[in-house]
Structure 1
């Protein structure tokens, strides 16, 4: 009898989706689909892994959430928190209170990752500019030291690892800021959640980042941008929220970056990775997400994951 072939590297990439792909940005918003419908449809689309999304959108009682996910064959991969650590020690207590709630639920659901998104320099509802897009040297030091402290305390208290998510309209966005952040933080503590869509939106090359900083990539968000809409958005200085409403994020394989080479580069890393589909759509018609999610899952299977 011949031996079974070794598993392909891509088999170590676990694909899931998130409330974001159903147009969910907030814990409670009448423009969003109800959480039961999200769970039903994400399972129907063929995904086995989900993120918690904004804290409070899904049930926060672990027993109730576990019952709801298990009966649909779903498992939680991560929770998400928002931070403003560049503002220094004054925000630590409020940050830790928020992180603690999310981390407790994340741990209770058996997940091991906490996705950390830096605060926006524009208001996420009104798009008003509320901070300078560029940090001072002191703010950079507060950001990097704060992230290291957060990583250390999350690990010690909850047994989770943090993965920092570069994001449009935040202070960690494109190549220069991401590399500066990575070079200034301890690789034993701080890993990256590479969001392919946000990184492309901000001019970054995901494959290059994986090949250069592969040991820092701890998690993936799979997303594409429509290059035509993006060109108009950048030319007009459109904030991220309105850009999403204009359709700047699109379903694969219609946009950039091409996901096949991204997944191929990620598969070469000596790591098991989650690759969570996140197609920013807010707000969106309630019947729109499921057909897109089904098509995207079929596309990703064609990519070997």
Structure 2
């Protein structure tokens, strides 16, 4: 779906231009940033390959009285492909830091409330490790501090993770050969039914939203997608989670096959003070499957923590 927004770019040391978008709501685009400078700022951090329509319920809920910004990883959306070929988590964290600093300069100096989805949870926690003062509060949606079961200490889990990491690395030379087939599948009529058949998508997953997501991944550089995915297997941020001292909200999807509920429950155990929401009958696409429920929960959390006036409550 089209958004009314102003797009700006920050430049990384290697020259890569990273895009971020400020949503305008009903304001004229030419005056929107000035008008929104004093509003409570919110920054949305994507999952890998996520198309911006995944945020549409949260944007619609908040854009009239917040300064809502979302940004694109390298090789995603309006951001350039990495000029030095680096798509590591550390590089995405550096890019996020620059986006926040530019966002703060153009606003009233306040750091934003962070809402992260999937891979975005890992990215924001890695920046929290370095710059906790940039985080007044966190909402972590369907994402963990590392890949599946990275927190587990059992021998079988370590061996399994090492095996997957090696397989992903060994598959890298095959990406250019496999990408035409993957792209053809993503734009075919089979992508959505396959997601439903495997259980990855629930019955209430909107077909139009998922088609938009498939199209966005189809447009991506295969190298950008695969190297970003590969980077997720290097390290994790589970140690950071235990250090979080700001108000935190954790939103999990009951039927998520990508980030299993066991990982989300482990996060809840490490952060027992966090506000918890388990969304029923939703998978990894919960942002569009249960969009209104999640958006209302985010706004209620902002009011509860005093990040916005109570008059803004739904």
Query: Structure 1 length as normaliser, TM-score?
Result: 0.36
Query: Structure 2 length as normaliser, TM-score?
Result: 0.35
